[in-house]
Amino acid sequence: EAGVAQSPRYKIIEKRQSVAFWCNPISGHATLYWYQQILGQGPKLLIQFQNNGVVDDSQLPKDRFSAERLKGVDSTLKIQPAKLEDSAVYLCASSLDRDHEQYFGPGTRLTVT
């Protein structure tokens, strides 16, 4: 069974530029999550989707971050404009539903200069 796929794996941008990350969850998984992991810390949830609806986006900085999950499968996370403090690894995870364990992708390491 294929795992959670993410791209790109690495991205370097200048502050004030925009960037987008893509995630393809495990087939059949209804719930999709985006996490931000700053160096030396545990991941922090940004947004959670159930199919194509948002369940929890309380920790998403909505002035600059946006995410969508069209058709309830793939998802994209966008940052516009980026700030230096956005430098982190962005992890995507999926689960069968909210009652099951989450499986994580390899992450996208973002560096903002």
Q: In angstroms, what is the minimal distance from the CB of 15 to another protein?
A: 24
Both tokens of 19, joined, read 């960037």
Both tokens of 95, joined, read 């689960």
Both tokens of 81, joined, read 């404009």
Binding footprint of another protein on the chain (CB under 8 A): 31, 33, 35, 40-45, 48, 55-56, 89, 91, 93, 95, 98-99, 101-107, 109
Give the nearer residue to another protein in terms of CB position, either 80 or 111.
111
Give the nearer residue to another protein in terms of CB position, either 24 or 48.
48
Give the nearer residue to another protein in terms of CB position, either 14 or 67.
67
User: Measured between alpha carbons, how far is residue 8 from residues 30, 85, 86, 100 in Å?
Assistant: 23, 19, 16, 27
| CB contact set of 89 (below 8 Å; sequence gap of 6+) | 36, 37, 107, 108, 109, 110
Q: In angstroms, what is the minimal distance from the CB of 104 to another protein?
A: 4
